[in-house]
Amino acid sequence: MAVGFQNKTGSQNLGSVVSVRGGVVDVRFDRRLPPIFSVLHAGAEGKIIVEVMAQLDASRVRGIALTPTEGLSRGMQVEDSGRPLEVPVGHEIMSRMFDVFGSAIDRKPAPQNVEWRTIHRTPPPLSERSTTSEIFETGIKAIDVLVPLERGGKAGLFGGAGVGKTVLLTEMIHNMIGHQQGMSIFCGIGERCREGEELYRGMKDAGVLDNMVMVYGQMNEPPGSRFRVGAAALTMAEYFRDDEHRDVLLLIDNIFRFIQAGMEVSGLLGEMPSRLGYQSTMGTDLSGLEERIANTHAGAITSIQAVYVPADDLTDPAAVHVFSHLSASIVLSRKRASEGLYPAIDLLQSSSKMATPGIVGDRHYNLAQEIRRTLAQYESLKDIVAMLGMEQLSLEDRNAVARARRLERFLTQPFFTTEQFSGMNGKLVSLKDSLDGCERILRDEFKDYPESALYMIGAIGEAKKAEANQPEAKKPDMKQPETKQPETKKANEKTPGGQKTDPQPKAATASTHES
Ligand SMILES: Nc1ncnc2c1ncn2[C@@H]1O[C@H](COP(=O)(O)OP(=O)(O)OP(=O)(O)O)[C@@H](O)[C@H]1O
Ligand SMILES: [Mg+2]
């Protein structure tokens, strides 16, 4: 990989290694001190690559290694390439896979007819940004109805370990890439290499690799490389936006690993850490990357980013900083995942700036509000149901609970990417079908259906089939008893009577507390 650089530069500025401490390399240059961000080569065939991070004095620079530093020792010769990190851009990079140095890692020859561009670029100025708001449909019910994504916006998928971020991101790629006009760039930062390989194969099998570029700096790479790989992917995205005037979908898994890599780099450089050990420059590091994801008059970059949330704590400084850059935040909850309600989106905590009547329209907005209200009411009644049982709720509350539980189940969806292990065929649902389904549930049209009839279906029309096929079928996922029609009627007669004559003081107290 370094060979390409060496041939390009032919630099005569040579230095020697002064010290090596893990990934930190100090180099002495007697003739000319390389500027910040210069790339230095050392070792056999220049394979050890170091990026200059600081100029210590008149003749010494300190750099961070972007490759393992095994074999590097004091006194070894170092060559200044005279250039910063660069990646290839051009039409030829389509359907290829790269690392942070722009070298192809898909076992194919390096792309020809490409231009090399520095990965250190500034965000577009305010005057060049465009401001249009349009919805980006994903075909996933819960997202389209409650957390509509913005075309040209940034969306985050927040979640702790193993709650389904990667699965949801892959499903979105699957759903969108087919009918997305532009092209997509996938950037893997600090996640598993296996996932990169799986995605590559998946995209190839699905026949959508032609419109895709992948860039990886996975968890086995040194921190310097993980820290820069996001910028490398963005440089390619900017080329497609600015030079080819195309719409770009940029997918990042996982942006938290970018912050984490920055923290490691900062620690290696001996900088003073800030809150919870994060680097003091976290905000600047992150905005340097996020602000480059912008829409200009030439084209738009829509980005979807997975955000790992350490210890499921949404107040973690890293999660908080990422939140502030996004136009839509999809929060994944461990509780929903444990109940098997996939995608495990926390419907009340997730939010989108697009969910306003001016953008989504009055009907969609009112429906979404009504859904949130119903779910919030269920949430507040959960404790009472757990302690005293459904019978102690007023009829109105009972109906709300029934509606909320049906909504929760209707907003689950089988995914194409999980077909192999879930055994269910994936479903793509249009926004209209999703809205119709929610509206009909809110109108109590599905009151008499078992809750399981709405679980893991696509459009609401499929609920009928499930009921007709298996009228008594009950899934083990239902922990609470069904609210049946006759019982509800009985309770209806009981409750008002109870309040007047007070034969059931407990019930009356419970409902008074609630109201
Ligand atoms: N929609 C889904 N349907 C069925 N199972 C799912 C779904 N989403 C996630 N899972 C289950 O959860 C597991 C973990 O999902 P995933 O790898 O996406 O988590 P993650 O949030 O990316 O985790 P990490 O932080 O470790 O990268 C999957 O292997 C799968 O078993
Ligand atoms: Mg993952």
Q: Which DSSP string do the residues of 433-452 spell out, in sequence order?
A: HHHHHHHHHHTTTTTTS-GG
* CA distances (Å), origin 25, targets 48, 64, 143, 227, 270: 11, 6, 47, 17, 13
pLDDT, tens digit, 9 for 90 and up, residues 371-412:
999 999 999 998 888 888 888 888 899 999 999 999 999 999
Flag whether 92 is in a domain.
Answer: no
User: Which structure tokens are listed for 108?
Assistant: 């194919």
Q: Give the H/E segment covering residue 400.
A: helix 395-410
Q: Tokens 């600090």 belong to which residue?
A: 190
pLDDT in tens, 199-252: 898 888 878 888 899 999 989 999 999 999 999 999 999 999 999 998 899 999
Whether 192 sits among the annotated catalytic residues: the reply is yes
The percentage of residues in the chain with a pLDDT greater than 90, rounded to a whole number, is 64
> Is the domain of 304 the same as that of 193?
yes
Q: Per-residue pLDDT tens for 242-286? A: 999 988 999 999 999 999 999 999 999 989 999 888 999 999 999
Distance 255 CA to ligand 2 centre (A): 11
CATH code, domain carrying 401: 1.10.1140.10
My answer on whether 419 and 453 are in the same domain is yes
Q: How confident is the model at residue 469 (pLDDT cuts 50, 70, 90)?
A: low
Q: Residue 316: which pLDDT band, with cuts at 50, 70 and 90?
A: very high
State if residue 343 touches ligand 1 by the CB under 6 angstroms criterion: yes
Q: Residue 185 is part of a domain; what is its CATH number?
A: 3.40.50.300
Report how far residue 210's alpha carbon sits from residue 212's, in angstroms, rounded to the nearest whole number.
6
Structure tokens at 251: 């997918």
Average pLDDT over residues 49-65: 95
Verify that 321 and 383 share a domain, yes or no.
no
State if residue 308 touches ligand 1 by the CB under 6 angstroms criterion. Answer: yes
User: How many Å apart are CA 353 and CA 321, to the nearest integer?
Assistant: 17
CA of 159, closest atom in ligand 1:
21
Both 392 and 279 in one domain: the answer is no
Answer yes or no: do 400 and 316 share one domain. Answer: no
Distances (CA, A) of 260 to 64, 254, 336, 506: 15, 10, 27, 53
Answer whether 415 contacts ligand 1 (Cβ < 6 A).
yes
Same domain, 193 and 298: yes
Residue 507 lies in a domain: no
Q: 162 and 292, same structural domain?
A: yes
Residues 398 and 273 in one domain: no
pLDDT of 511: 38
- Classify 134 as helix, strand or coil: coil
Q: DSSP letters along 450-473, please?
A: -GGGGTT-SSTTHHHHHHHH-TT-
Asked whether residue 79 falls in the same domain as residue 214, the answer is: no
108 plus 257 within the same structural domain: yes
- Are residues 107 and 70 located together in one domain of the fold? no
Residue nearest atom 3 of ligand 1, based on CA coordinates: 342
The angle at the Cα of 153, spanning 167 to 351, to the nearest 5 degrees, equals 65
CATH of the domain at 7: 2.40.10.170
> pLDDT by residue (tens digit) across 65-123?
999 999 999 999 999 999 999 999 999 999 999 999 999 999 999 999 999 999 999 99
CB-based burial label for 512 (10 Å; 0-12, 13-18, 19+): exposed
Domain extent for 73: 2-84
Catalytic residue, chosen from 51, 86, 191, 451, is 191
Supply the DSSP symbol for 48: E
Q: Are residues 113 and 65 in the same domain?
A: no
Let me know if residue 109 belongs to a domain.
Answer: yes
